[in-house]
A and B are shown apart, each in its own frame.
Chain A
Amino acid sequence: DTAVSQTPKYLVTQMGNDKSIKCEQNLGHDTMYWYKQDSKKFLKIMFSYNNKELIINETVPNRFSPKSPDKAHLNLHINSLELGDSAVYFCASSQAEWYGYTFGSGTRLTVV
């Protein structure tokens, strides 16, 4: 009965590869997000999607492309991976604008 689930949990890949991280929520929420947490533990929002529509893109390189096939899914595709992309990526969702977010357990991406 996981609310926000991400796969995979760990991802190790070489520079230059293309990879995807999947996110699904079973809460019926309309809005989903991607956050990146770097090695200094700073959490930064990357994207926000509302009902399959991109709402915010916070100065993220265009190598990162979110895709939302339906409002329960928000996948993150990354092209030409770089060492600096190594981080933990968290997916989240929310029900309404004043509610808090429900976060997934994260995907630890390591680029070697």
Chain B
Amino acid sequence: DAKTTQPPSMDCAEGRAANLPCNHSTISGNEYVYWYRQIHSQGPQYIIHGLKNNETNEMASLIITEDRKSSTLILPHATLRDTAVYYCIVRVAGNQFYFGTGTSLTVIP
């Protein structure tokens, strides 16, 4: 599975949109982009995934560039409860999830 690069940390003001970037320049055509988050001391939580189209669910939106070499997870109105480590993972369907170091997002009141 392709590697991903994420900034180690980000801050976001409460109520504003949090935009978390991820680079995956070596992604191949059959690899999906997944996002998880891990709130302190809890198990990772699946957020969203996509192949090439933008996706939206009740938690977030996923924007994937046309060349698929990068993506952005958008939390439209960040709350304090969104403070967590966010992991961007690229994988072929059926393979395991290999977690990197992620982005530590802090939502500031």
Contact = CB atoms under 8 A, between A and B. Distances in A.
Contact of B46 (A56, A100, A104): A100
Interface string B38-75: 10011111110100000000000000000000000000
B96 A45 contact: yes
B46 A102 contact: yes
B101 A105 contact: no
Interface of B: 32, 34, 36, 38, 41-47, 49, 85, 87, 93-94, 96-99, 101
Nearest to A90: B43
A43 interface: yes
A1 B42 CA distance: 17
Interface in A92-111: 92, 97-106
Given A97-B93, A97-B94, A100-B49, A106 B43 contact: yes
Interface residues of A, number: 23
A56 B38 CA distance: 24
Interface of A: 4, 33, 35, 41-45, 48, 56, 58, 90, 92, 97-106
B83 to A, nearest CB: 15
A103 B96 CA distance: 14
Contacts of A101: 44, 46, 97
15 contacts: A41-B101, A42-B101, A43-B38, A43-B44, A43-B99, A44-B98, A56-B96, A90-B44, A97-B93, A98-B93, A100-B34, A101-B46, A103-B45, A104-B43, A106-B41
